[in-house]
């Protein structure tokens, strides 16, 4: 069943390239409400745990290195059918395949440094949101 929340991160590439403001603006303009937000820097242990599902994939080590290479913005977002709507807003994993106007099309630089994370299911949205935020940090 679709819920109304998803989880996102603005990844180190987009933060370093100065796109925090533009990406948040696109997210809010698309009708998402910010429920929780923080600016933080993942440790290797945290990034490894967050991407545990990708442990067997060949790019896992590189992905963990990349995600710890600089600060990120983490957020929980609310909108009807949030997971699917947010995946549409960010576009395909590979920015060369992301539709015109999507966040990855506009701000990503490679399949790895692809500007933003977006949960791929309601179940993962809840797990990922809980990874970063306590009940007191949600508004
Ligand atoms: P997403 O759900 O669109 O983020 O894509 P995946 O769940 O398949 O992959 C998770 C993240 O791993 C992506 O957002 C990329 O940052 C990275 N990634 C995916 N595929 C590749 C790849 O082929 N090579 C590298 N280096 N990184 C990848």
**Nearest atom (ligand 1) to Cα of 120:** 2
Per-residue tokens: 132: 């970063």
Q: Which CATH superfamily is domain 5-133 in?
A: Nucleoside diphosphate kinase-like domain (3.30.70.141)
Q: Which residues belong to the active site? A: 117
Distance CA 63, CA 125 (A): 19
- Whole-number pLDDT of residue 3: 74
Q: State in Å: Cα 50 to ligand 1 middle.
A: 13
**Which protein residues are within 6 Å of ligand 1, measured from CB?**
54, 59, 62-63, 93, 111-112, 114, 117, 120
Give tens-digit pLDDT for 1-35. 567 999 999 999 999 999 999 999 999 999 999 99
* Helix, strand, or coil (residue 41): coil
Give tens-digit pLDDT for 37-80. 999 999 999 999 999 999 999 999 999 999 999 999 999 999 99
- Whole-number pLDDT of residue 114: 98
Give tens-digit pLDDT for 71-89. 999 999 999 999 999 999 9
Four-residue CA torsion sign, 95, 65, 83, 55? positive
For residue 32, give the DSSP letter.
P
Q: Where are the domains of the chain?
A: 5-133
Considering only CA atoms, which residue is closest to atom 27 of ligand 1?
Answer: 112
pTM: 0.97
Q: State in Å: Cα 125 to ligand 1 middle.
A: 17
Question: 107-128: string of b/e by CB count within 10 Å (b at 16+)?
Answer: bbeeebbbbbbbbeebeebbeb
- Whole-number pLDDT of residue 126: 97
């Amino acid at each position: 069943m679709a819920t109304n929340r998803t989880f996102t991160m603005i990844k180190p590439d987009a933060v370093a390239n100065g796109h925090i403001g533009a990406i948040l603006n696109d997210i809010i303009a698309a009708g998402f409400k910010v429920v929780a937000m923080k600016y933080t820097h993942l440790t290797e242990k945290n990034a490894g745990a967050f991407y545990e599902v990708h442990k067997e994939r060949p790019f896992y080590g590189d992905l963990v290195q990349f995600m710890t290479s600089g600060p990120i913005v983490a957020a929980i977002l609310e909108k009807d059918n949030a997971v699917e709507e947010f995946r549409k807003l960010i576009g395909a994993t590979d920015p060369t395949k992301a539709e015109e106007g999507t966040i990855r099309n506009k701000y990503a630089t490679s399949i790895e440094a692809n500007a933003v994370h977006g949960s791929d299911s309601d179940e993962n949205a809840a797990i990922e949101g809980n990874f970063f935020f306590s009940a007191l940090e949600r508004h």
